[in-house]
Amino acid sequence: MKRILQLSILITLFFGTLPVAAQIKKAVTKKTVSTVKRTTKKPVIKPKPVIVPIEIFTRVKISTVLGEIVVKLYNKTPLHRDNFIKLVTDHFYDSLLFHRVINGFMIQGGDPNSKNTVAGSMLGMGDVGYTIPAEFDSTLFHKRGALCAARTENPEKASSGCQFYIVDGRKISDGELDNIQMQRGIKFSPAKRMTYKMNGGTPNLDTNYTVFGEVEAGMEVIDKIATAPRDGNNRPVTDVRMMMELVK
């Protein structure tokens, strides 16, 4: 009887422990799998904002059949700078003409009507449907090589949204500068006077048209365009088309 009782206890212990062991194994397995899932899941990392340093100037390369011109845009005229960059990025200027050129004065382009024009047609009235508020700065003036915004006659002196000109200019004497000062009521600093006398420009346009950049390379190309044979409307007889791109 004692042996039977012992055997019964052993059987109970043996078979009774199996479910418990299985449950422990199941619990451990479940916990392990769950832990693995939590530790192997890729964390969501929010990208840090990229801080792009502001360059002092943004440069644009203007390519023509007569050569290349590189201009730098001023940060002191942000409205004109940003608008010009947008138009260049959108390839707005590609295939447009320098439609008005006057030796010793300037070369003008940016009329959208010049893209598909016929020879001899008058240009200069095309636009993009908006103007840019004038941005005058006493340190930015119409020296030779200045990049400036064309405009219509309007009291606000707001600029065309797309047409521009580059000053070819000629050397200006002290007497001429004195006359401009009297007529316009503006003052030329000694530094400006020296620039106009030594390098040239169109000082009579100062504070009348926004200057928003300057030529960094290719003034000889501007001279070639300015002296190209032209018709009665100052349009080059042989089309001078442009292509533009941003450069560092």
Q: What is the CATH number of the domain that holds 151?
A: 2.40.100.10
In a domain, 176, yes or no: yes
Q: Return the SS3 of 93.
A: coil
The domain containing residue 72 runs over which residues? Answer: 58-247
For 200, the token pair is 């040239």
pLDDT of the residue at 32 = 36
Stated pTM of the model: 0.77
* Four-residue CA torsion sign, 84, 85, 86, 90: positive
Question: CA 19, CA 134: separation in Å to the nearest integer?
Answer: 88
pLDDT of the residue at 146 = 98
- In this structure, what are the phi and psi dihedrals at residue 212, rounded to the nearest 5 degrees? -125, 10
pLDDT of the residue at 49 = 44
In a domain, 14, yes or no: no
Find the Cα–Cα–Cα–Cα dihedral 23, 25, 30, 33, rounded to 10°: -170
pLDDT of the residue at 55 = 55
pLDDT of the residue at 100 = 97
How many CB atoms neighbour CB 177 within 10 A? 18
Which residues in the chain show pLDDT less than 50?
Answer: 1-54
- Alpha-carbon Rg for the chain, nearest whole angstrom, is 37
In a domain, 50, yes or no: no
DSSP state of 24: H
In a domain, 229, yes or no: yes
Beta-ladder partners of 109? 98, 164
pLDDT of the residue at 248 = 82
| CA atoms within a 13 Å half-sphere pointing along the CA-CB vector of 121 | 13
- Tally of structural domains, the chain: 1
Question: CA 131, CA 80: separation in Å to the nearest integer?
Answer: 10
